[in-house]
Structure 1
Amino acid sequence: MELKRVVVTGLGALTPVGNTVSEYWNGLTNGVSGAAPITRFDASKFKTQFACEVKGYEAENYFERKEARKMDPFTQFAMVVADEAVKDARLIEDNVDLDRIGVIWGSGIGGLRTFQEECVNFANGGGIPRFNPFFIPKMIADISAGHISIKYGFRGPNFVTVSACASATNALIDSFNYIRLGMADVVVSGGSEAAVTEAGIGGFNALKALSERNDSPETASRPFDKDRDGFVLGEGAGAIILEEYEHAKRRGAKIYAEIIGGGMSADAHHITAPHPEGLGAFNVMKNALRDANIKPEDVDYINVHGTSTPLGDVGEVKAIQRVFGDHAYNMNISSTKSMTGHLLGAAGAIESIASILAIQNNVIPPTINHFNDDEAFDPRLNLTFNKAQEREVKIALSNTFGFGGHNTSVVFRQLND
């Protein structure tokens, strides 16, 4: 069976450094930090008092009040970016077959704020079970894909992947496979997360996973820096329209890039800690390159998982050097989490968008907040510190890894037809 080609025809973004795709890209290329003191709640008693929140977001600017009350913020974010992407791809105005359009989304946690609020209300009510009738539909992770399909009438494959921080990239890989196997013409894919809550911050603090640099939030996310002390929690969403190539050509769609491969693997090591030698990261990149049918030396840019944790950054770089050998010194490598923070299940979506736009614009977004070299990293590697760099980008790879040892990599290529 001949596999179909799959391209990117629409993008949508709502991030801590910009609330549209153009604003997001401008924030990345200018090295803007999205980290600041938390505004969602009083964080003064928490070990970490800052996060990368979406700025200036008001639900009433996008939804009717009654409609917004039925959706957790993670679903609202999904709807906002899906709308931008659907309009960007001209899906509705081109009158495509709605039975052949799917929605495959990703979220690592789902409606955490809704779950927290309902449990607190129950406890404060003396144990009397007076729950909001929308409690369950607001909380469950799959509801985001459901809302998107209902709004537009998309009747193709519809589900949500949950694999912690790898969720959105798993969704992209599933979408890619459904299209190239002929099971859909178009899939609205991506991920959303809204975990900047008391439970989110407190839970990750208990794991000792978050940076506690409260005196300088804007410099707290510092991947590969000697003084990195944990990740910065982020929120937001990203949407990517994947489409069968011939279908896109027939309707004259704008094509950003081609998706040519995806890889998955497991660390099989620890529930939260990455494999110290990056074994799962090594396997997933090898699997992605094999699926894309390209050689390591074909890759120009890697948008790394790069969370700014002491162990994670080291393991990923070890894996890159093992996969790419001497070519690792010819590539650009960067972590956009230095600016956006870690969007958990949505990370793979916005970082894939960054990789696609790097191909479109021949610009590598930087790894900001580098102050002190760490001898654990080979100085010959180009980790794109502090300032964006111009270079031709024909092929870009994006890594996302998650608690539980889930690893995903996806490969994008400049359309060369």
Structure 2
Amino acid sequence: DKIQIVGGPDLTALQAFVHPDDDNASDQTVMRIVLPRPIPPHGTIELAVNFTSKLPRAVARSGFEGDYFLIAQWFPKIGVYEGPGERDRQQGGWNCHQYHANTEFYADYGVYDVDLTVPSNYIVGATGYRRGSRHNTDGTITYNQYQEDVHDFAWAASPRFLVDQRAFDWRLEVTADELQQWAKILNVAPDQLALRNVDVIFLLEPGHRNVADRYFRAVFNAMKYFGLWYGQYPYDTMTIVDVPRHSATCCMEYPTFITVGTYFWPAEHGLSPEGVTVHEFGHQFWYGLVGNNEFEEAWLDEGFNTYSDGKVIDVAYPYHCSYNNSLGMPVPGFSWFQVPAPAFPFAGVLGVPVGPLFSCVQSPERTAGRGFYLDHVKDDDLVRNGWQYLNGPSYGLNSYTRVGLTLRTLESYLGEDVMARVMRTYHQGWRYRHPDTRDFIAVVNEV
């Protein structure tokens, strides 16, 4: 609506939409403003931006479904200025891409101090921690959320959320033997593996109260192992939204804030809600703390996270069903019950099986996705701009599955202990920074 320099000129007339990725003149997702005068080295500028965001019905990353709202990618976000040598740039310049169906995002770190005003009956979860709230005379309430050292801000609101808050106490989760074990593997002192206590806030769908314990155990497991392996989760809070079924907003990650989902009655030995919860929390490390460019090199977060969440699943959930068998045939999904087979008198003659009609079939995380990879391996190179992949399945394969398999293969060559040191060294060296593929390869060679 309006943009101006605080205490200075109005810049609204200078704004222009640009299309750096595909020359699509109809695209209005990147705006450029040439300032009246340059900002000098170490100088500052303060801008006041008035804007209106119109939320769509919930699709993929943002929107509403009934009285539920997920509000993400909703404000004008500053592009990333990359200096000479950063991410292999020859000279400094802006990196700012259009919004694409097949890509995620890229932004720089900063401080978010946000006031959110909603109807007073709405429950709100958001990036950061809550510093306070105030009731307004018009029947609304304003919440203040604050967080340093993050590169995005998202929030959710609904009058139907059930709030369940529990503390992750790392000393109750990590044993002395585990500290010694990983200190030896990673070649660090045990006190360097100290984690931090975190307030974990779940906003649950009313019908999912029965799954709360599984949700919390999943995020506690992820917080423990990601922390031991790569470094402590550095924030005071973690907010997790259990989204309404069919709201199209599940399974997204934002700093200190993720969305997850499950079924009304999930199978006891399946990985719902554990799989998605571990994966989305893992993005706090791969995407959140190590801020790769998701537009150009999605493998550095989605693929690294696929590898890492698989390692967590291996150790925290060694017995889980990948699918079920019924009468010897694979059945999609997971059963929450076991039905004994009827004892037909002709069972031995016709080969009707005895035992449960549904049986759990396990597939190790190490080999999960290999069939999908082999079907699509020739479609695209692993590393390329997200919007240039052949199609959605190719983007998914090369950003997730293929990378998980590749890192598992590298682990087999190097050995698990060396690979653990590679991953920790890379993560620690690039926290709050923007690495690229060459930077990871350099760390592998260094370690």
More helix by share: 1
What TM-score bracket applies, with the shorter chain setting the length? under 0.3
Q: Per chain length, whose mean CA-contact separation is higher, i.e. which structure has more relative contact order (CA < 8 Å, sep 6+)?
A: 1
The two structures have a TM-score, normalised by structure 2, of 0.24
Q: Which has the larger radius of gyration?
A: 2
